[in-house]
Amino acid sequence: MLDYVSYLRVSTQRQGQSGLGIEAQRTAVEQYVAQTGGTLLKEFVEVESGSGKSRPILVQSISLCRRTKATLLIAKLDRLARNVAFVSSLMESSVEFVAADAPYANRLMIHILAAFAEHERTVISERTRAALSAAKARGVVLGKNGRMLAQTNRCEAEMFAASLSHQIENARKTGATTLRAVAQYLNSEGSRTRSGAPWSSSTVHRLLRRLSPPPGERCDWTA
């Protein structure tokens, strides 16, 4: 019987609309584990864009796979094949991994797909910068882009908080009633903040605020 550790990744509130939200990935993973007769040891969720190279949650999931000899399981191949550094980190770890939607894809195929995807993203990024520069030269006010970026960052932080809601509930069930106690529980579970740092009272406080945003400010990332 195989043991699995699942790694789910979301980037923005639009993930739910594209069918690649947390719940969709979780369902795909659970179905694959059931079909193979395996056991899911733990689930890791990371909020990070496809181009991001900082993957602290990925590091944690790989570490657990290495300790338990488990296979790293992702829901969809394109959750993996978007960044060469991401793929390389898996290959260098010597940890076995599989995508639920393409279980027979070998490592060479995945690496090639990642290289093409990264090149395409670079081309799109260069075109976007050129278009913004041209718009600015024409006198177009670009301040709105800054506000949109801030909104995206806020929503991603809210999504990250939601992914940890079950751990917060488990902490409270163990009697953790203070911010410090919750932080100690999260750290003992191997959880880390979005930046990869250990939890503290202040970061737990911000996390809890993200779980209960003021009326009218909640992001619609579950649509």
- Long-range contacts, stretch 152-157, CB < 8 angstroms, 24+ apart: 152/12, 152/13, 154/219, 155/12, 155/13, 155/219, 155/221, 156/11, 156/12, 156/13, 156/47, 157/47, 157/194, 157/210
What does the pLDDT read at residue 71? 93
Question: For the chain, what are the domain ranges?
Answer: 3-109, 141-223
pTM of whole model > 0.75? no
What does the pLDDT read at residue 63? 87
What does the pLDDT read at residue 220? 52
Task: Say if CB 162 and CB 214 are below 8 A apart.
Answer: no
pLDDT digit string, tens, across residues 2-30: 899 999 887 754 544 444 578 888 898 99
What does the pLDDT read at residue 31? 93
Task: Say if CB 15 and CB 21 are below 8 A apart.
Answer: yes
| Confidence bin at 144 (pLDDT 50/70/90) | low
Structural class in CATH, domain 3-109? alpha beta
Residue with tokens 């179905």: 31
